[in-house]
Structure 1
Amino acid sequence: MTKNTILIFVTILLSLAACFCPAWLSLVLVNAMTFIMFALDKGLAIKGERRIPERWLLVYSLFFGWLGGLIAQHLFRHKTRKQPFKSLFYLTILLDCIAVILYLSRGALLH
C-alpha cells in the first residue's frame, strides 16, 4: 500500500467516525485530519514525491479543520507564502466564522 492509499483510507474512516460523534469530537477529528494532511504534504514536498492536492487541504480547512491547518502551517513552515493558496485558506476561516455567527444568531441577522 502506498502512503496516499493509506491516507485516503484513514481519511474515509475518520470522516465516517466524525459523522456519528458529538460535535466537539467531530471538530477534534477534522482538525487532526487536517493537521496530518498538512504534515504529510510537507514530508512529500521535502522528498520530491507526489503531493496532496491543495483542493483537499482547502476542503478539510473549510469543514472547520482550519485550526489544525493553521497550526501545521506555522509548525512545519508549509504553505505560508504560496499564493493563491494562502488567500483561499484565509477565506475558509472567514466563511467558517460567518457560518458560526449565522448559526448562533439563528437567522436573526438575516431579517
Structure 2
Amino acid sequence: MFYVIAFINIINFILFRIDKRKAVKHQRRIPESTLLSFTFLGGTLGALLGMIVFRHKISKRNFLIKFGFIVLIQAAFIYLYGKYS
C-alpha cells in the first residue's frame, strides 16, 4: 500500500508541475478535476508540495476549498478506520 500511495503522490506532484508549465505558456491545461482526483486517491502530499514548490493554485480560492474538503474527508476516513479496526 505504501508504494501505491508514494506512486500517486509522485504522479500528482508531476501533474502540478506540468499544469504550471502549461499555464505559463498559455497552453491547454490539465483539468482541475484530474488534479483533485489524484489528490483524493491519496496524492495529498504530492499536491501540497506541488502547490508550494511551483506556487501553483495557491491563490485560487475555489480550488483551495475543494482541496481542503478532500483533506477533511481523508482525515475522517483515517480516524474512522483507526477507531473501528
Band the TM-score falls in, shorter-chain normalisation: over 0.9
The answer for unaligned runs of 5 or more in structure 1 is: 1-22
Aligned AA for 1:37? L
The alpha carbon displacement at 1:64 in A equals 1.3
Aligned mates of 1:97, 1:27 — CA distance in 2: 15
Aligned mates of 1:44, 1:53 — CA distance in 2: 11
Aligned length: 85
Cα RMSD, aligned residues only: 1.0
The answer for unaligned runs of 5 or more in structure 2 is: none
List aligned pairs for 1:1-111, cutoff 5 A.
23-106=1-84
Aligned mates of 1:63, 1:106 — CA distance in 2: 21
2:61 counterpart SS class: coil
Q: Any idea what the Cα deviations from partners look like across 1:27-66, whole Å, max 9, x if unmatched?
A: 1001011101111000000111000000110111111101
Q: Following superposition, which runs of at least 4 residues in structure 1 exceed 4 angstroms of deviation?
A: none
Q: Any idea what the Cα deviations from partners look like across 1:55-93, whole Å, max 9, x if unmatched?
A: 110111111101100001000000001021111011111
1:41 counterpart SS class: helix
Larger Rg: 1
Aligned AA for 2:71? I
